[in-house]
Structure 1
Amino acid sequence: MTEKVLGLPETSAPPFRVLGPLQVRGSEEPLRVPPGRQEVILAALLLESNRVVSTHYLVDLIWQDDPPETARTQVQICVSRLRKLLADADCEVSITTRPPGYVLNTDAVNVDSALFTEQVTRARRLRDQGAPEQAVERLKAAMRLWQGDCLTGMDSGPLANRARQLNEERLAALELRMRIELELGRHDRLVGELQMLTHEHPLRERLRGQLMQALYWSGRQAEALDVFQAGRVLLDEELGLEPGRELKDLQSAILAGELPPPAGPGPGPTARTQAEPEDSAEGAATAPPTAERHDEIPHQMPATTADFVADPGRLAELERALTGGPGRHTAGLVAITGKPGTGKSTLAVHMAHMLAETGFPDGQLYCDLRGTTGAPATSAEVLGRFLRALGIPGQLIPESLDERAEMYRTRLASRRVLVVLDDALSEGQVRPLLPGSRDCAVLVTSRARLTALPGAHRVELDVLEEDRALELLSRIIGEDRVRDEAVAAEALVRTVGRLPLALRIVAARLAARPHWTLASMVHRLANERHRLDELTHGEMTMRASLSLTYDGLAAADARLLRLLSMAQAPTLPSWLAGALLDDDRPFPSDLMEPLVDVQMLDVVGVESTGGYRYRFHEIIRVYAREQLAAQEMPEDREAALVRMAGGWMHLAEQAHRKVYGGDYTVLHGTAPRWEPPVVGTDQLLADPMAWLDAEQGALCGMVEQAADEGLHDVSWDLATTLVTLFEVRGHYDLWEQTHLKALGAVRKAGNLRGAAAVQASLGSLYMSRNQFDRARQTLGSALDIFETLDEPEGRALCRRDLALIARTSGDDDGALELYGRSLADFDRADDVVGRAIVLTQSAHIRMRRGDRAAAQTQLDEALAIYEGVGYTGGRARTLRRVGQLLLERGDHDQAVLTFTEVLELCHDSGDVIGEGHLLRDLGHAFTLMGRPERARSFYDRAIATREHIMDFSGGALARLDLARLLEGDAAEAAGSRELLLPAVDVFRDRGMVRELTEAKRLLGVG
């Protein structure tokens, strides 16, 4: 396995290293960290990267038992200097304040200790999944991260203990690798390495036992017994102990000659069919990965809360209800209800994390159903998200709710998955999302009681018990302050009604102001509640807490909170603060941190830039919107909204350019853009499709918000730009939803060009859905407008798609005429990618007509264009046509090489549908080459790949291909029948008459 597969390139060590001496590499050269306190604090933060490290811990780390009175201040100064040092060196990291301490934010791949832990965890999972060879390679890559003992040269109390823990994990990983390699039968090549390790760690009995096994299986029984005896003597001399039971049993088995041989590796999920001897020139390149690699385990849970408190009895009750037992016949179902601010979501997320590994190893699905927002998620929308997370390509997800629910239940039938549905509106929203398997479980939170959910275990949350409320307060502000003002602490939790959210908000303000007494906070809250005494008790409690915190914010922070409430994104990226305030600082997350410090925003993740992602609690969002309406001038609010929309538009536009190599096959409007910091943009869009995937909800929300707010130009521009995502991922429902919203806005504004652009894009959508009559009508309307406006790019896009409709219906002459006119307009618009697409599509007609020379010329030009701009998707599609042309010419070997290259491109981009096509192509190629065994191998894989993603039509076609290959072989008659019977059902259900007739012929039935 290569380092590319492992994600650990040899040439790029992590910039932060603690597995050995502490080392930091800036953007250009190594960075010297001042020895002493700064070095210790940085090491502590790196060892706990992306987790809160308390100030108390850092104080203890530096001064042990005798800190000065200024210890906290000195820690703050050290952290400030570290921030400047790292920022000046352009390190991919940030240190942010988060009560009760600090967090070092960076990707796991940037810190060698975090990367080591991740690789070892993946290795264990691979071994459990039956892929031992891959597990070994992961472990070897993990060991290459070490440059000596952890934090060599540093010895500082608790930090040294943490270093010793990592050193122990290193040895445990070594022992795991030895065990796996012994199971693989590699004992003879391990003897030397195990001898060295046993010499370095003579008291580790597991390593000694593995050396004994390796020697015995290598035919060196006497040496194996000598190793045991040497260990016995050493243990007696050093510790006065006898060897443990494991070593003694091993010695007895060797003496009796009864040590069983290694079991050897199983086939594993990534095993490949061996190539025939004459195929050695092709090697593994023609053997594609099996379908199992698409069976990804979803991990969608938000981060849990660090200061979570709960009754252990309640947690045990929920665990029993969710995990159940062998006697349970339905999925576990728990409904957590309660009034706002009681901690329903916090409890649900904590339970999901608690049960992730032991109770539900096949993954966790999560969705915020937005039941209290006024725009709740539809069940169909949620099912689409969950099916994609479960490995179903968007193009294969059916449109109807019932069909999606059926596919969802089928997908979960043999899995143990926990589904968390947060903020549900009603039972009707939840019912289609319930799995059918008893091995799954569902956790629902809602303000409604959800009494009509059958079989649900209901938990109604109320306010915290007083002891739990005091525990929460202690965790946020520190035990000392609560103990020193015990009476005031009890009064404080009573004043906020023991409501968890209110208590967190008030406690966060106290944590940020250590000089404030708890008694003064009680007095402030009492005054605020008196001012709001016309409200109900629960509402009054929350508003008092929010108002007190809001009034204490700096003016800029309060304004940012108000403006952030305009965003309709499920989570908020850090650059958004810069856009709303028109602040172009390089680290805009700094603007958000004051709101996090006072619990007005929650941190829910880390971006590729090192900045955080944030989220409002819905109660706080509503409050902030009220303040926005009351305090923000309409013109200032509108200007901020335009900048926010411009920021999303700029990033989406840049993502499209990175995918296509430029502004190709798209129209843009004139709405102003707002550009986030260049460095941040480059990091965000390093993988443009991944960014579009991650921001899908925010981008679609911005399209709709822009339409509602009268920003029609940005609404249509953003909607059509997002087709980059919608088309590749098969988000057909979002494609239609955003475009219809934008279309209404541009028509209302009389924006003809925008209306034509949206209609042209909708025409492409209807083609993708095989709604050709509707597509033809919509494209015709758009073309008429583009003709009036003399818009060559728009005309080219419409005629290209109309040509494809003509080609699909068999009108090749009409298609070629349309392609010719489209080509001319793409040339007028200087759109080379549009030209390449037309050349590739029309080349297929040339191939069908036998004009191979013309087809080859067009394909060669298209390939040159794609390679010039770096558009991988277009290159893959054109190369497939090249392979088909090579097959027609009889150049089978070159066709196989070409198909294999395209297969690798599809694999790298995650295009599982494309892989299914290429596997069939390779099957056809080997059939024509007269090599049925190789053909059968690829058809088998095509069937597995297609049916794994529930593409039963594609699977049935591959079954038919394989049955044709086996035709006439009497020994394969039974196997051919097994292949065809499921295919017949599919062909009949889908109305595939020609294929059904062929399948019946092969079965010998009328």
Structure 2
Amino acid sequence: MLILAWGRVVSVGALVDAVWGDRPPTTARTQVAICIGALRKAFKQAGVEDDIISTAHPGYRLETARSETDALEFTSMVSDAAAAVRGSRLDDASALYTRALALWKGPALAGVTGQPVEDEATRLEERRLSAYKAWSDVDLALGRHQELIPELTAVAQNYPLDEQLRHNLMLAQYRAGRRGEATEGFRSWRRYFVDELGLEPSPVIQELHNAILRDEPGLALPAESAPPPETRFVPAELPPDAAAFQGREAELAQLDTLLDRPPAGQPTALGFVTGVAGVGKTALVVHWAHRAAGQFPDGQLYADFSGGDGDQPPMSAHALIERFLRALGVPGEQIPADPGARESLYRSVLAERRVLVVLDNVSGVEEVLPLVPGSGRCCVLVTSREQLDHLAVGGAVRVGLGLMSEAEAERLIARIAGEERVAADPSAVRELFRLCDGLPLALRIAAARLAVKRHWSVAHLVHRLSDERRRLDELSTGGIGVRASFAVSYRGLPKKAGRMYRRLGLLNVPDFTAWAGAALLDVSPGEAEDLIERLVDANLLTVTGTDATGTLRYGLHDLLRLYARELAQSEESEEERDEARGRVLRTLLTLAEEGHRREYGGDFSVIHGSTPRRPLDPALVDGLLRSPLKWFDAERSALVALLVQACDLGLDELAWDLAMSSVVLFETRADYDNWRLVAQRALEAAQKSGNRRGEAAMWYELGSVEMFQQRFDRAVPLFEVALGLFEEVGEVHGHALTLRNLAIVHRVRGDLVSAMGKLSAARDVLHEVGDASAEAHALGQMAQIELDWGNADEAVTLSREAVRIATGLGETRGAAQALNRLAGAYLRQGRYDAAEESYQWVLRLVREKGDSRGEAYALLGLGETHVVAERYPAAEQVLLEALRLTHRVNDLFLLARVNLTLGRCNVRLGRPDRAGQFLTLARSLFRQMDSPAGEQQAAREMAALGGGAPRDLLKVC
């Protein structure tokens, strides 16, 4: 199977099907792997050092050279022999057929079973038979009838029903003076033929028999030579091979499969190379065509459909056929004017020839189809910036050409600009690769500039390219450039698709979905997706994948983004650009606010700015926000990038509002870096414009980031600034939220009286403004303080009220937090079963939401319950799972508590060394967070060990 698919990957599934058919054993895939290992070992034992069989998803590939595969060598020789016949080089043809047939050592793939292999064996045997018949035709024409008879007799016996073999044998026998053998052989063969098939032989062979009986003169080989063959022109139109061509080995191997010549009567071999402008499609195809030119002895035709520099209209297929016919030697007066007749003549001329036809920069199917020969002897290779999906015919080889790898780019630059330039500053070369977007055209231009400017270092060119406004200007040399290459693709776009491409360049996002395109053009998402897919087909956009919501995401390469932005600036007014960007940003704000509302159960724990929301179709909102957190996850990178862009554009009111509406993502996913980034950038934008309310909101968010990371000493001054600004502008809701968070910090640091006072004041305001979720959270914090004071009954009362409010809102997150606190209160009351039931409820809620932090807290509470209930093995198991999750969410306070509880558990299990390790780490973490109460708890547990701190304390720390 690997040999038959030379150079191509054979999937494991195909191998299983070939061996076992539709009833594979359960161990089939394992057996395939074992067999592959044995094959590799056999090659090694035979002295082959290279890796002949490589693993390549979804299976394996044979890497041996084509010349090592006898079936391909046979096919190549037979094709060359046929070309020699067409060129009237009969001696060469006879020698090639003889060598090709000598490669056979019996039936093809003898003894190997399995339907795919048996089918291939049948096909090879048919090709062998065809070669025998062609060889006998040639040797008869050369007058070698005497030498031909022995082998042709044996072959005719092996294929007793083949009339052409019998015909040629009879003719050879007659010409060798063995007339009796010819006629007697025919009579015996006829009886067998009729008995086997119930048919009479064809009129052609019966006429030969009658002619032999009559000794007709026409059977003898003419004494005089045949007239000289018609002179055939052999066009060689390929452009020069690309200088310093590098890499693309996998793509070249794909194109090599075009040389696996199809049997007679099969369609022409077709290859399609597609990719973004400047990716090197023409260079790849021309390089391969030069490599393969020897396989096409009747010539190579080439046409560029781009119209040269793109300013001239491309030649039509009708006109191009005339040019190709002239190149193939057809006189102009013999070329019909009628397009249909001209196509027919073109296919007739190519019918007996093996010609490579290269069609470069094709934009549509109408340019390709008239130029496809009807014969399987020829090969057509097409390059296009379009996908040309409607030409994805069965058996066609399709190569989607991607960007260069960093290693390939480094070798290319070294070959053009010099090895010493690359060796002198490898980091600058890597940055050059990034700035050129891995685009071969851009890299060649950059390397050419370095080759000319010998006094420039790579770092100097990188510095020049770093200015986005000049980058496309820099990447031009010798009349060619990246901008000109992109322009050809852009000019071919319909009007609306062109506008979509331009406006996408206005967004500084790594990727996007159709809703963003819809906002840019103010059209429906369905229409936007159609336009975006048109840009994908033109290779101006790429599909980056499918996000967590199952939505397709798209992206622009950096250079294409710069070109799109240039077009937007030159072809659209500033007002149009601002309106397009504004629609996207306001759509994002609308979705983020609604996502927050759905996740929190309402518009809670947040304040908003005055930016008008963009009205959206409810069906669109429901479709995008089926799972709000998944949507936030999918849009995270784009959201951060657009928020930063809003700050750069001076849209401070929108920026801080969007930052606050998105906190649910950053908080739930413990994404502190992006949370801090957006809050800081929005703060700077608000300060620059004098937006005091927005500034207060972002000081509050920055304090919250520090609080969630348990850096309480940093959080306090940030909250205090926010409190002052909220008081200044009269923002009571924001003030209450900040007061609540400041109270949490005081509670953790042990100042319970101050914390309770702040929480009580915050709760009153939160109740008054209708922020039920934040109110429930404040009640939960008050319950925790009551627990810290030892008032378990009061804590249960407060917690139940928090649960009532949160569950009434349908807010999963708030309900989970309130239930977690209630379970802790039950634990203090000694109601272990009630506590465990509540923690299990919390686990169900947070796992549904994918809330790892919430899950870790619930597991901690469940572990504490088991410890108090003296179920130590169960406690240890749950707490170790909590520890694993805690490391993922990066919560120091949670980490300290889990270690503290694991220490207590191991004390009870009688493992002093292990207990000491957990407790020492817990004490260190509490001290780091300035939490005296926690530090004291850890110290008390360590004292219970009798001073048994771990000996290897330094290692633990």
Matches within 5 A, 1:636-715: 636-715=576-655
1:666–1:629: structure 2 CA closer, same or farther, 3 Å change rule?
same
Confirm or deny that 1:886 pairs with 2:845: no
Q: 1:977 aligns with which of 903, 907, 913?
A: 913
Q: Which residue of 2 aligns with 1:749?
A: 689
1:535–1:707: structure 2 CA closer, same or farther, 3 Å change rule?
closer
Q: 1:1002 aligns with which of 930, 942, 945?
A: 945
Q: Which residue of 2 aligns with 1:289?
A: none
Q: Which residue of 2 aligns with 1:775?
A: 715
Q: CA deviation at 1:987?
A: 4.9
Q: Which residue of 1 aligns with 2:502?
A: 562
2:512 aligned partner, one-letter code: L
Q: 1:605 aligns with which of 536, 545, 548?
A: 545
1:487 aligned partner, one-letter code: L
Matches within 5 A, 1:619-638: 619-638=559-578
Question: What secondary structure does 1:605 align onto?
Answer: strand
Contact 1:506–1:545 under 8 Å retained in 2:
no
Q: Which residue of 1 aligns with 2:760?
A: 820
Q: Which residue of 1 aligns with 2:376?
A: none
Q: CA deviation at 1:702?
A: 1.0
1:881 aligned partner, one-letter code: R
> For 1:300-319, what per-residue CA distance to the aligned partner results, in whole angstroms no more than 9, with x for missing partners?
xxxxxxxx993149999xxx
Q: 1:577 aligns with which of 506, 517, 541?
A: 517
Q: Which residue of 2 aligns with 1:840?
A: 780
Q: CA deviation at 1:605?
A: 2.2
Q: Which residue of 2 aligns with 1:114?
A: none
Question: What secondary structure does 2:784 align onto?
Answer: helix
Distance, in Å, in 2 between the alignment partners of 1:611 and 1:483 is 50
Distance, in Å, in 1 between the alignment partners of 2:571 and 2:787 is 67
Confirm or deny that 1:487 pairs with 2:301: yes
Matches within 5 A, 1:366-405: none
Q: 2:284 aligns with which of 459, 464, 478?
A: 464
Distance, in Å, in 2 between the alignment partners of 1:905 and 1:533 is 56
Contact 1:886–1:895 under 8 Å retained in 2:
yes
Distance, in Å, in 1 between the alignment partners of 2:629 and 2:762 is 28
Question: What secondary structure does 1:487 align onto?
Answer: strand
Q: Which residue of 1 aligns with 2:248?
A: 310
Contact 2:893–2:925 under 8 Å retained in 1:
no
1:804 aligned partner, one-letter code: I
Distance, in Å, in 2 between the alignment partners of 1:505 and 1:777 is 69
Question: What secondary structure does 1:604 align onto?
Answer: strand
Distance, in Å, in 2 between the alignment partners of 1:591 and 1:758 is 38
Contact 2:740–2:759 under 8 Å retained in 1:
yes
2:913 aligned partner, one-letter code: R
Question: What secondary structure does 2:363 align onto?
Answer: helix
Q: CA deviation at 1:570?
A: 0.5
Distance, in Å, in 2 between the alignment partners of 1:983 and 1:847 is 22
Q: 1:871 aligns with which of 806, 811, 816?
A: 811
Question: What secondary structure does 1:549 align onto?
Answer: helix
1:676–1:798: structure 2 CA closer, same or farther, 3 Å change rule?
same
Q: Which residue of 2 aligns with 1:9?
A: none
Contact 1:763–1:776 under 8 Å retained in 2:
yes
Distance, in Å, in 1 between the alignment partners of 2:500 and 2:666 is 32
Q: CA deviation at 1:830?
A: 1.5
Contact 2:501–2:564 under 8 Å retained in 1:
yes
Distance, in Å, in 1 between the alignment partners of 2:943 and 2:253 is 58
Question: What secondary structure does 2:686 align onto?
Answer: helix
Q: Which residue of 1 aligns with 2:699?
A: 759
Larger Rg: 2
1:506–1:842: structure 2 CA closer, same or farther, 3 Å change rule?
farther
Q: CA deviation at 1:852?
A: 3.4
Distance, in Å, in 2 between the alignment partners of 1:505 and 1:748 is 57
Confirm or deny that 1:545 pairs with 2:399: no
Q: Which residue of 2 aligns with 1:81?
A: none
Contact 1:939–1:962 under 8 Å retained in 2:
yes
Contact 1:959–1:980 under 8 Å retained in 2:
no
Question: What secondary structure does 1:572 align onto?
Answer: coil
1:546–1:692: structure 2 CA closer, same or farther, 3 Å change rule?
same
2:945 aligned partner, one-letter code: L
Q: CA deviation at 1:617?
A: 1.8
- Of stretches 950-959 and 704-713 in structure 1, the one that deviates more from structure 2 is 950-959
Q: CA deviation at 1:941?
A: 4.1
Q: CA deviation at 1:682?
A: 1.6
1:311 aligned partner, one-letter code: E
1:980–1:830: structure 2 CA closer, same or farther, 3 Å change rule?
same
Distance, in Å, in 2 between the alignment partners of 1:843 and 1:533 is 65
Question: What secondary structure does 1:668 align onto?
Answer: coil
Q: CA deviation at 1:851?
A: 3.3
Q: Which residue of 2 aligns with 1:396?
A: none
1:642–1:492: structure 2 CA closer, same or farther, 3 Å change rule?
closer
Distance, in Å, in 2 between the alignment partners of 1:510 and 1:533 is 30
1:633–1:910: structure 2 CA closer, same or farther, 3 Å change rule?
same
Distance, in Å, in 2 between the alignment partners of 1:533 and 1:855 is 69
1:567–1:846: structure 2 CA closer, same or farther, 3 Å change rule?
same
1:605–1:550: structure 2 CA closer, same or farther, 3 Å change rule?
same
Distance, in Å, in 1 between the alignment partners of 2:843 and 2:492 is 59
- Residue correspondences, number: 557
Contact 2:872–2:908 under 8 Å retained in 1:
no
1:991–1:677: structure 2 CA closer, same or farther, 3 Å change rule?
same
Q: CA deviation at 1:574?
A: 0.9
Question: What secondary structure does 2:861 align onto?
Answer: helix
Contact 2:762–2:778 under 8 Å retained in 1:
yes
1:858–1:805: structure 2 CA closer, same or farther, 3 Å change rule?
same
1:805 aligned partner, one-letter code: V
What is the CA RMSD across the aligned residues, in angstroms? 4.9
Distance, in Å, in 2 between the alignment partners of 1:738 and 1:882 is 34
> For 1:627-655, what per-residue CA distance to the aligned partner results, in whole angstroms no more than 9, with x for missing partners?
11111101111111110111111111111
Distance, in Å, in 2 between the alignment partners of 1:877 and 1:470 is 70
Q: Which residue of 1 aligns with 2:399?
A: none
1:931–1:582: structure 2 CA closer, same or farther, 3 Å change rule?
closer
Confirm or deny that 1:719 pairs with 2:659: yes
Q: CA deviation at 1:716?
A: 0.9
Overall identity of the aligned pairs, in %: 31
Confirm or deny that 1:509 pairs with 2:363: yes
Question: What secondary structure does 1:638 align onto?
Answer: helix
1:701–1:842: structure 2 CA closer, same or farther, 3 Å change rule?
same
> For 1:947-991, what per-residue CA distance to the aligned partner results, in whole angstroms no more than 9, with x for missing partners?
68888986676565455445477xx5xx44245347646755885
Distance, in Å, in 2 between the alignment partners of 1:920 and 1:906 is 14
Q: Which residue of 2 aligns with 1:924?
A: 864
Matches within 5 A, 1:228-377: 310-312=248-250
Distance, in Å, in 1 between the alignment partners of 2:674 and 2:691 is 22
* Structure 2 residues not aligned, in runs of 5+: 1-10, 32-110, 115-245, 255-275, 311-357, 373-379, 386-444, 446-471, 929-934, 950-957
1:466 aligned partner, one-letter code: V
Distance, in Å, in 1 between the alignment partners of 2:521 and 2:665 is 29
Distance, in Å, in 2 between the alignment partners of 1:796 and 1:890 is 34
Q: CA deviation at 1:859?
A: 1.5
Distance, in Å, in 2 between the alignment partners of 1:854 and 1:787 is 32
1:595–1:757: structure 2 CA closer, same or farther, 3 Å change rule?
same
Q: CA deviation at 1:492?
A: 7.1
1:745–1:944: structure 2 CA closer, same or farther, 3 Å change rule?
closer
Q: Which residue of 1 aligns with 2:725?
A: 785
Confirm or deny that 1:897 pairs with 2:717: no
1:493–1:487: structure 2 CA closer, same or farther, 3 Å change rule?
farther
> For 1:684-708, what per-residue CA distance to the aligned partner results, in whole angstroms no more than 9, with x for missing partners?
2111111111211111111111111
